[in-house]
């Protein structure tokens, strides 16, 4: 099963992806996570990606498409994958479809997690993540509620960059909702419900 999670930054794609991989035996492919790990490791890819990420701009298609193609070949992705934060442009969507087709696979669902932009800005500016396990929480979590790890704020979760990320989303990524609707695989969920309610709705669609 291959699922594309669509939605603005902060819509809750990462949280739902974590729940999905726990419930189904499929790989989590988050281009944001891969890019952040490369930035942290100081690899050539990370050095190239950092300036785009710091500004809330998209990393060039050629770079992220290459990353996802490689990631899809990994063993844990054989049984399927949750694509979280990819595709973000029409070119990426086309590349994903061709790559999956070449592998004899396809996208089962494109799930759009819908959240009002005003809610998004508040969520992103208050978002905090666990340094140890990656748990996605908020400013009220003094330490990680799952593992006790230290919480931190992403560099790009500041008001100025958040606004740009939302503009970029509207311009480049939101049109993919129509793209997948046209392909007959779009489902939409209300992302303003609690994470567990959103997940229950997603599960009822998948099952």
* Residues at the site binding ligand AMP, with contacts judged by CB under 6 A: 9, 31-32, 35, 52-53, 56-59, 64, 85-86, 88, 92, 156, 165
- Concerning whether 165 is annotated as a catalytic residue, the answer is yes
Measured from the CB of residue 106, what is the shortest distance to ligand AMP in angstroms? 19
Of the pair 24, 52, the CB lying nearest ligand AMP is at 52
> Does 87 sit behind a cis peptide bond, omega within 30 degrees of 0 on the bond before it?
yes
Q: Residue 154 catalytic?
A: yes
- Closest CB 207 distance from ligand AMP, rounded Å: 27
Catalytic residue among 69, 105, 154, 163: 154
Active site annotation includes 123: no
Q: Which is nearer to ligand AMP, 86 or 135 (CB)?
A: 86
| Cβ proximity to ligand AMP, 148 vs 158, nearer residue | 158
Of 36, 123, 127, 128, the catalytic one is 127
Any catalytic annotation for residue 128? no
Please indicate whether residue 69 is annotated as part of the active site.
Answer: no
Residues identified as active-site: 13, 88, 127, 154, 165
């Amino acid at each position: 099963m291959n699922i594309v999670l669509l939605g603005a930054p902060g819509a809750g794609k990462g949280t739902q992806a974590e729940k999905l991989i726990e419930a189904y035996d499929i790989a989590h492919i988050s281009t944001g996570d891969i890019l952040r790990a490369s930035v942290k490791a100081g690899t050539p890819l990370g050095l190239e990606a950092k300036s785009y990420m710091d500004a809330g701009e998209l990393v060039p298609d050629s770079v992220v498409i290459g990353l996802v193609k490689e990631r899809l070949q990994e063993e844990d992705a054989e049984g399927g994958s949750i694509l979280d934060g990819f595709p973000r442009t029409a070119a990426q969507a086309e590349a994903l479809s061709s790559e999956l087709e070449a592998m004899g696979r396809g996208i089962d669902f494109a799930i759009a997690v819908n959240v009002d932009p005003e809610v998004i800005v508040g969520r992103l500016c208050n978002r905090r993540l666990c340094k140890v396990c990656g748990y996605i929480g908020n400013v009220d979590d003094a330490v990680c509620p799952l593992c006790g790890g230290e919480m931190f704020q992403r560099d790009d979760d500041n008001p100025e960059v958040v606004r740009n990320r939302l503009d970029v989303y509207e311009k480049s990524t939101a049109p993919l909702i129509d793209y997948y609707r046209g392909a007959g695989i779009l489902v939409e969920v209300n992302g303003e419900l609690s994470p567990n309610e959103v997940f229950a709705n997603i599960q009822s669609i998948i099952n």
